[in-house]
Amino acid sequence: MTRTDSQKTAILQVDALSQDLSDWSSTIFDFAEPAWREYQSANWYVNRLRTEGFTVEEGSGGMPTAFAADWSNGNGPIIGMYAEYDAVPGNCQAASTQRQPRAGLDFQAAGHTDPHSGLGISALGGVLATKAAMQAHGIKGRLRFMGEPAEKTRGSKPIHAAKGYYDGLAAMLSFHPFYMMPLCNSVRWDTHCGAAYSMIFRFICDASEAWGQTDGIPIPQSHNSIRAPGANEALIMMYQASKALRDSMLPHSGGWSISEAILSAGQATADNLPAQLSDLQYMIRVPTVEMAKQVTAALERNAEAAAKMTGCRWEKHWVCKSRPGLANHAMSNIAWSAMQTIGAPVWGEQAVEVAQNIQRSLGIPPMSSPFLDACSQLCSPRDAEAILRQELPPRQINSTSDDYTEMTWHTPTARFYVARPALKPVRDRPYPTWVMNALGGIPATIDPMICTAAKILAVAAIRLLEDKSARESAMAEFKHRTGGGIGGKTWMAPLCDYEPPLDFKWPEYVNTPRGRQF
């Protein structure tokens, strides 16, 4: 595809930044902070962006680890990009060809899986390259770069959307690392990600001493309190009842899921009293908001029953309510054109050697071409869509889950994927999870994705800044699909009616007299 002079400048700028991008990715990879607790990562981005001349609002949307950064080169369209940087507990892995945790930690600490470390730095490279080209060629306009924490809980974007941070943008470019076919080096077309609800059910045992009493008189020497059910029993009943009902809640096809996580209340040193507090988090990933509401209602009934059986009371606290995604073919074509201009990532000899060393460490004969072929091939949006639809019921519009969907209701949005490194499968020998995590942190294997994605983002952004007709086509389609734009007849308003869920027992790193621990 033909490159404009400004796009050539941006591509060269990514090349000039390549070592910095590699170092920066390693920094965020090593921070590996989980959802809502990404203090070092957010601070690093804020300082970097300010150094690059951006005006940065820290704590945007009332979230301490979020930010909104803006840079202006005069009046003109505003193009948005964003970073994610949360990691996943229980996935601590060094950037190594052996299974080992990062220095000073154990395997239960957090680690980057997708990896969001590479996602965020790719986007940063893209926005910095766009900025350089705008300056060099006198392109008017603005750039907005959002810091989006807690993606693994679909946390920040519903809140940013409800508070207006995506309003007024000419377009948003949404990138994610990927390896799963068919959306490998491709752009979403019609089938965007679905809705998601996440909530914490909290059980509170206020008066365990009343258990088993008749007319206020306890059974003598009964150890009444410790025999009483409490918050833990309520949690277990809720957990088991919801597991049993899962098959009845939704159909078996269509890419939906319900998952749960037990949050610790720190009662390991309790003596002879029942647990007073327990928290059980659910994440519901479904195609439609109506499905999410149905599952939520079933969970609420279970919570009510569990609380009554155990002498507890219960509360529901929202973690997220996010909308399904809205397609925009004009934006998809812009991203696809940029992807064709840049091409797929290419892994060189050093990356191949890394992959072969991993295979040797697992007792697998090293392959001459160890990476999945699809990782270095482009797949057109229409071809990817056709393959994706083979797995879905015809009536289903949305599938799987990611919270970029919030942006699609506020500005024309392109969602594209660039392959992260993935190894060719071996018959009857699945690779352990740590392999993917390691490949996302080793510079030789993750850098090709980072530079490729940064170039695609910059080329697409410059196209949007310079090509008024392309920009207007994307906005016209957005207004058509929403019945008039934001507030239109078919526009779906933000679902977020809650404050950021900051005060729960989310996993995090702490400094103690024993050192830094997870």
pLDDT in tens, 33-50: 999 999 999 999 999 999
Three-state secondary structure call for residue 505: coil
First CA to last CA distance, the chain = 48
For residue 215, the tally of other CB atoms under 10 A from its CB is 4
Given this model, what pLDDT does residue 220 score?
A: 55
Of 109, 115, 29, nearest to 436 (Cα)? 115
HEC profile of 262-320 = EECCCCCCCCCCCCCEEEEEEEEEECCHHHHHHHHHHHHHHHHHHHHHHCCEEEEEEEE
Helix locations, 392-489, DSSP H: 405-408, 433-439, 443-466, 468-482
Q: Is it true that the peptide bond before 443 is cis, omega within 30 degrees of 0? A: no
Each residue's pLDDT tens digit, 219-269:
555 555 666 788 889 999 999 999 888 777 766 666 688 888 888 766 665
pLDDT of residue 275: 82
Cα–Cα distance for residue pair 123/458, rounded to 1 Å: 9
The ranges assigned to domains in the chain are 5-192+325-482, 196-322
More confident call, 171 vs 261: 171
* 354 pLDDT higher than 60: yes
Residue 443 has pLDDT above 70, yes or no: yes
Asked whether the predicted pLDDT for residue 515 surpasses 70, the reply is yes
Mean pLDDT to the nearest integer, 65-74 = 98
Say what percent of the chain tops pLDDT 70.
93
**417: exposed, middle or buried (C-beta count within 10 Å: 0-12, 13-18, 19+)?**
buried
Domain spanning 196-322: CATH 3.40.630.10: no
Contact at 8 Å (CB) between 304 and 262? no
Residues 6+ positions from 388 with CB-CB distance below 8 Å: 182, 183, 191, 399
- Which segments of 311-362 does DSSP mark as H helices, in order? 329-342, 349-361
In sequence order, the 6+-apart residues with CB closer than 8 A to the CB of 292 are 195, 196, 197, 284, 286, 321
Is residue 66 within 8 A of residue 141, CB to CB? The reply is no
Could you report the per-residue pLDDT of 146-161, keeping only the tens digit for each?
999 999 999 999 999 9
CATH classification of 5-192+325-482, choosing from 3.40.50.2020, 1.20.1250.20, 3.30.43.10, 3.40.630.10?
3.40.630.10
Query: Is 92:106 a contact under the CB 8 Å cutoff?
Result: yes
Distance CA 267, CA 204 (A): 13
Residue matched to tokens 């300082």: 47
Name residue 487's amino acid.
Answer: G
Average pLDDT of the segment spanning 329-356: 98
Least confident of 4-13, 245-254, 346-355, 502-511: 245-254
Nearest-5° Cα angle at 54, 41 to 161: 70
Residue type, 232: N
Structure confidence at residue 512 as a pLDDT band (50, 70, 90): confident
Helix H or strand E segment including 514: none
Residue 118 has pLDDT above 90, yes or no: yes
Residues β-bridged to residue 111: 88
Predicted confidence at residue 391, as pLDDT, reads 85
The widest CA-to-CA distance across the chain, in whole angstroms, is 88
Residue 281 vs residues 109, 188, 298: alpha-carbon distances, Å: 19, 30, 14
- Average pLDDT over the chain, rounded to whole? 93
pLDDT at site 211: 67
- Range 358-377 average pLDDT: 95
pLDDT tens track for 447-487: 999 999 999 999 999 999 999 999 999 999 999 999 999 99
Q: Work out the angle at residue 89's Cα, subtended by the Cα atoms of residues 203 and 146, and round it to the nearest 5 degrees.
A: 95
**Would you say the CATH fold of 196-322 matches that of 5-192+325-482?**
no
CB-based contact 114:177 (threshold 8 Å):
yes
Q: Name residue 313's beta-bridge partners.
A: 204
Average of per-residue pLDDT across 494-506: 95
The one-letter amino acid at 320: C
The whole-number pLDDT of residue 480 equals: 98
pLDDT computed for residue 303 by the predictor: 97
Tokens matching residue 25: 């990715």
Q: What is the per-residue pLDDT for 224?
A: 57
Give the integer Cα–Cα distance in Å for 144 and 124. Answer: 11
Alpha-carbon distance of 409 to 146, in angstroms, equals 16
Whether 78 and 170 have beta carbons less than 8 Å apart is answered as yes
